[in-house]
Amino acid sequence: MNDAPRPPRPVGDTSPTADDLLPRVARGDEDAFGALYDLLAPQVFGVVCRVLRNPSLAEEVSQEVFVEIWRTASRFDPSRGSVRTWASTLAHRRAVDRVRSEQASTDRERRAAAGDNSPAYDQVVEEVTASLEQEQVRRCLGSLTDLQRQAVTLAYYVGYNYREVAEVLGANLATVKTRMRDGLTRLRDCIGTFELGAPR
């Protein structure tokens, strides 16, 4: 059960929310997708720009995010959070992927310029380690409550502060702070268990 209440709409506001629109997008409704784009574009662009710090590149990656939203709308699981949270997570993931891609391209160019065609051992080790750590964190995030998981994801993967997390989730600021503290404690204990070699 999601313990993050939906934010109340202003009296008289009958405009559809992102959560209202996504099911229609999943059925191929282009008008609904246009409305969803208008609702989420500022948020998606903001998340991407925070990571890339390049407005031109951020615009390109933001478009990729909306293509992914259009393609995967039918796979969205509302039990795991709101559409806004999901879109922010997709945006952050795409932005981080672009940073890694740009860095890898730069590294290849440097090695080519230096005439070094040998395998980049340190890079391989780093990528494998990062992949294992991500899998570990994903497993541990699954042990949190809905609000804990959403709050931690928005704060540490997307970069929101407490107040922004509370606004996105429609939750009380004090509640968000408490849930994040409890969630981080559970994450720390879970990750520590994995590091000690507990069965997965």
Whether 154 and 4 have beta carbons less than 8 Å apart is answered as no
pLDDT-wise least confident of 64-68, 90-94, 104-108, 133-137: 104-108
With a threshold of 0.85, does the pTM exceed it? no
Query: CA-CA distance, 197 to 137, in Å (whole number)?
Result: 15
Q: What is the pLDDT of residues 49-61, one digit of tens each?
A: 888 888 888 888 9
- What pLDDT score was predicted for residue 169? 77
pLDDT band of residue 90 (cuts 50, 70, 90) is: very high
- Taking the chain, what is the end-to-end CA distance rounded to the nearest angstrom? 25
Query: CA-CA distance, 38 to 55, in Å (whole number)?
Result: 18
Whether 148 and 180 have beta carbons less than 8 Å apart is answered as yes
pLDDT band of residue 21 (cuts 50, 70, 90) is: very high
Query: CA-CA distance, 79 to 184, in Å (whole number)?
Result: 21
Query: CA-CA distance, 43 to 167, in Å (whole number)?
Result: 12
Give yes or no for residue 141 having a pLDDT over 80.
no
H/E segment holding residue 53: none
